[in-house]
Amino acid sequence: MLKVDSIDKFYKKGGMFSKERQQVLKNVSFECRNGECLGIIGESGSGKSTLGRLILGIEKPDQGTVLFEGKNVMDRRVRLGAISAVFQDYKSSINPFFTVEEAISEPLKGKKKTQKEIHYKIDILLNQVGLNPSYRKKHPHELSGGEVQRVCIARAISTEPKCILLDEAISSLDIPVQIQVLNLLKELKEVYNISYVFITHDLQAAAYICDRVIIFRNGRIEEMVNIEKLKDVQSEYARKLLQKLITV
């Protein structure tokens, strides 16, 4: 369904007039299958979030392509309503002047739905993420971090996308809230048959929700493994990284 094919990405290094470039992604290729949760695990600075931006079509690769159902994600029409995202910084993910209702309904604009249909849809979405209808008129500053992230998830699933990219989506939350959000994500995955690309440095979270994981190192795929065989990774780097993440 989602195919990342031979991706390279460079950024300018130095000042505005510098011609020096740093390569942050190097010949990255993988596929995320329909209904799968694919984890991408790596240390800070390994290129995980850059990869996420390319998947979302926010940035363009210097080489290679990102295809969704055979079409390039750089075409906005390909990803509109089909690929959503939930980010780490939930505080800046929602316009602070929007109510919960306005935030969730934003992606539904232009979907040829009546106001009554949107109103009904919001009630369903709030219920699915564990929030009651009284939250409709609240603003982000009136909510806890976990509640705001639930609103972000409701917004992400509002268009019933086929794929959601989650970039460190639970790392800013307290542990009990992390578990609640992970359980919510698992439930929604079953309801909507969504594929997840789950970018994280949290091994326990990845092991709980993912079907396969990619070990990412310095902009390259070090290893890819099914989650049940995670303890049997082959490369020395993967073993050291997983051991490090377990002890963090």
Reduced to 3 states, what is the DSSP secondary structure of residue 47?
coil
pLDDT at 100: 95
Answer whether 0.85 is exceeded by the pTM: yes
CB contact at 8 A, 52 and 88: no
Rounded-to-integer distance, Cα 74 and Cα 60, Å: 7
Q: How many helices (H) and strands (E) does the chain have?
A: 8, 10
For position 109, what pLDDT does the model report?
A: 78
Rounded distance between C-alpha atoms, residue 28 and residue 51, angstroms: 9
Q: What is the pLDDT of residues 187-212, one digit of tens each?
A: 999 999 999 999 998 888 998 999 99
Cβ–Cβ under 8 Å, residues 222 and 215: yes
Q: Which residue has the tokens 């995202």?
A: 85
User: Is the CB of residue 51 less than 8 Å from the CB of residue 61?
Assistant: no
Q: Which residues of the chain have pLDDT under 50?
A: none
pLDDT digit string, tens, across residues 39-58: 999 888 889 999 999 999 99
How far apart CA 3 and CA 71 sit, in angstroms, is 9
Whole-number pLDDT of residue 74: 95
- Nearest-angstrom CA–CA distance, 167 and 247: 22
Tokens encoding 43: 């240390």
- Amino acid 247: pLDDT: 65
The structural domains of the chain, ordered by start, are 1-82+163-248 (3.40.50.300), 89-158 (no CATH)
pLDDT score for 30: 97
